Amino acid sequence: MALKSPLSRLRTRAFRPSSWLAGAGLALAGAAAPACLAADGADRSGWFTLTAENNNFAVNQDRHYVNGFNFAYLSAPLSGGSGWFGRTAAGIEDALPPLFPRAGQSIDRRFEWTALGQQIFTPSNKSLEPPDPRDRPYAGWLYTGISLLQDRDGRELSDLSATVGVVGPGAFGEQVQNGFHKMFGFGNANGWKHQLNNEPAVTLEYVRKWRLVTSLAEGYGVQADLVPELGAAVGNVFTYAEASALVRVGVGLDADYGPRLMQPGLTGGAYFNPQRAARSWGLNVFGGIQERVVGHNIFLDGNTWQAGPSVDKYPFVHDEVFGVSAFGWRNVRADFTYVRRSREFGAQTGVDRYGSINLTARW
């Protein structure tokens, strides 16, 4: 019964912010429908991706960023002169040439629609009521979003994304966490009534990646590449600037730019094009680091316009990632990533670690 309680409360006043979030998702779904009809050539199908992140995927450390879930759709290639979405994408690129350079032999533009995403944050000691005011506040974030991606020649990727949602009780963090804890026989987190207040959550983000690739064993298709990245986000959820570098070794590296992770953090992004790899399978191991300069993090700084729990954040945060990525049968893709994140606030003891599992399949 605990897992059904979020649905039973959708109509209550406390959860009304999620109703406009659902409406935004339906509107984006309607916009997504024609994308497959606007595809270039024979590749007229898109990709669906499920990403799950949790402390327990990597280590027995149930604290801070404890769980994330993301379900998304990546479109087929968009033709600049065909379909509403294709014309809109080309118009955005024309209006923002510094963000979307047009020079290149092969331009592949796509969109990604994040149908539903949720992230949950808690303090270390979840038995305390009220929680320790020096520890990370309880918070949930529920969101949807859309991204425009432009790949140039398999060597450069531009990604502009907008995310809208809600932070607070309307994100269902309490119901999801305690519902699963009850299902699997764990104790409840007792401090959720002290979580961040409901607040509309909006973030705009831009990322540019480059691929520098070399052949290690040409006869076997083994390559190594370096994927540097620069990016920034602005909004009342996150405001930061970042620089990243990812190193990969394996086969089929041309299919993407690295593992797909949830933001913020080092991620290869949503782009996936196995046809570009010119092989039926791929496998690589990877490692990388991201440095962030954080101006605002609502999950540490607290609500923007209301009083509530907060902690003193560190302005400099870095992530280290290691893992393995593969695609093969029917071009199904799977990533497993171990993430080690540096301390984010003053009273935090030690680093945080979590695992990410990503599955992508063609529809």
Q: Nearest 10 degrees: CA dihedral of 118, 123, 127, 133?
A: -130
In Å, how far are 74, 81, 175, 200 from 150, measured between CA atoms?
12, 15, 38, 29
- What is the C-alpha separation between 323 and 317, in angstroms, rounded? 20
Model confidence at 27, pLDDT cuts 50, 70, 90, reads very low
Q: Provide the greatest CA pair distance for the chain.
A: 63
CATH number at residue 296: 2.40.128.140
Q: Average pLDDT in the 47-67 region? A: 91
Q: Average pLDDT in the 314-331 region? A: 94
pLDDT in tens, 200-216: 999 999 999 999 999 99
- What domain range is 72 assigned to? 2-362
pLDDT in tens, 220-247: 889 999 999 999 999 999 999 999 999 9
pLDDT in tens, 103-134: 667 888 899 999 999 999 999 999 999 999 99
Burial of 308 (0-12, 13-18, 19+ CB in 10 A): middle
Burial of 200 (0-12, 13-18, 19+ CB in 10 A): middle
Domain count along the chain: 1
pLDDT in tens, 129-185: 999 999 999 999 999 999 999 999 999 999 999 999 999 999 999 999 999 888 877
* CB half-sphere exposure, 170, CA atoms < 13 A: 21
Q: Model pTM?
A: 0.85
Q: Which residue has the higher pLDDT, 162 or 95?
A: 162
CA 95 from centroid of its chain's CA atoms: 26
- What is the C-alpha separation between 236 and 112, in angstroms, rounded? 22
